[in-house]
Amino acid sequence: MSNPAVFFDRDNTLNFDPGYLSDPNLVNLFEGVGEGIAKLRNDFNFKIIVISNQSGISRGYFTESDVLAVNEKINLILKMQFNTEIDAFYFCPFHPDFSTEEESKCRKPSPLLVFKAANDLDIDLRKSYFVGDSISDIECGINANLKTVLVNYKNDLGKIISLKNRNKTPNFIAQNFLNVCNLIIEDFTGGKSLVK
């Protein structure tokens, strides 16, 4: 049987982003991320998948192994402190200014990496969600036919208006990570269970 999944953006969704984060020592997860992921994965059997644009690679700011080191650090924190983990990380290293158009097709808002992950991990997209802080995250989720959650930590109304104007209104908007997980679990279970 196919698995439900929650697809997450990485930077500024799971972790604070100082700008082109590449140093694992600077990994700083937002409040509630560990608890929320543990709840989704351990209690509700969601696969947890990260889909990230990492154009810093094609821009020459850092290497693929830097991205892998940051991803590993995130999973180390989740394992050691929260007894959970991200099942898979996917990232697009390309950018149209530095790469070919063909290469850049993996970049969000393209749903390409979502479809690749769904195939790799036997995901049922009809039961799955996409969570992110950017317009391109919500567009990616919509392009993959997923329900979408905008994390809006800074209560940025401009972002909401911009999405609405593009006719890309997310299904849910949350201002903290545990709310994100609550909304997903409530929707998934038809309102029968909430994160305590």
**Which residues have a catalytic role annotated?**
9, 11
Distance (Å, rounded) from C-alpha 45 to C-alpha 22? 30
Structural tokens at position 196? 């305590």
Q: Which stretch binds Mg ion (CB under 5 A): 11-19, 24-32, 73-81, 138-146?
A: 11-19
- Which residue's CB atom is positioned nearest to Mg ion? 12
Q: Which of 47, 63, 171, 174 is nearest to 117 (CA)?
A: 47
Q: Which of residues 38-77 bind Mg ion (CB under 5 A)?
A: none
Distance (Å, rounded) from C-alpha 186 to C-alpha 192? 6
Cβ-based nearer residue to Mg ion, 53 or 128: 53
Q: Which of residues 18-37 bind Mg ion (CB under 5 A)?
A: none
- Least distance from Mg ion to the Cβ atom of residue 52, Å: 8
Candidates 4, 5, 9, 71: give the one binding Mg ion (CB under 5 A): 9
Distance (Å, rounded) from C-alpha 104 to C-alpha 126? 26
Candidates 11, 66, 87, 139: give the one binding Mg ion (CB under 5 A): 11
Q: Which of residues 118-157 bind Mg ion (CB under 5 A)?
A: 133-134
Count CB atoms within 10 A of the CB of residue 178: 16
Distance (Å, rounded) from C-alpha 5 to C-alpha 37? 11
**Site for Mg ion contains 179 (CB under 5 A):** no
Cβ-based nearer residue to Mg ion, 104 or 134: 134
Distance (Å, rounded) from C-alpha 2 to C-alpha 140? 21
Distance (Å, rounded) from C-alpha 20 to C-alpha 80? 25
Cβ-based nearer residue to Mg ion, 11 or 66: 11
Q: Which stretch binds Mg ion (CB under 5 A): 3-11, 38-46, 64-72, 161-169?
A: 3-11
Q: Which of residues 100-119 bind Mg ion (CB under 5 A)?
A: none
Distance (Å, rounded) from C-alpha 11 to C-alpha 133? 8
Which residues are near Mg ion by CB under 5 A? Answer: 9, 11-12, 133-134
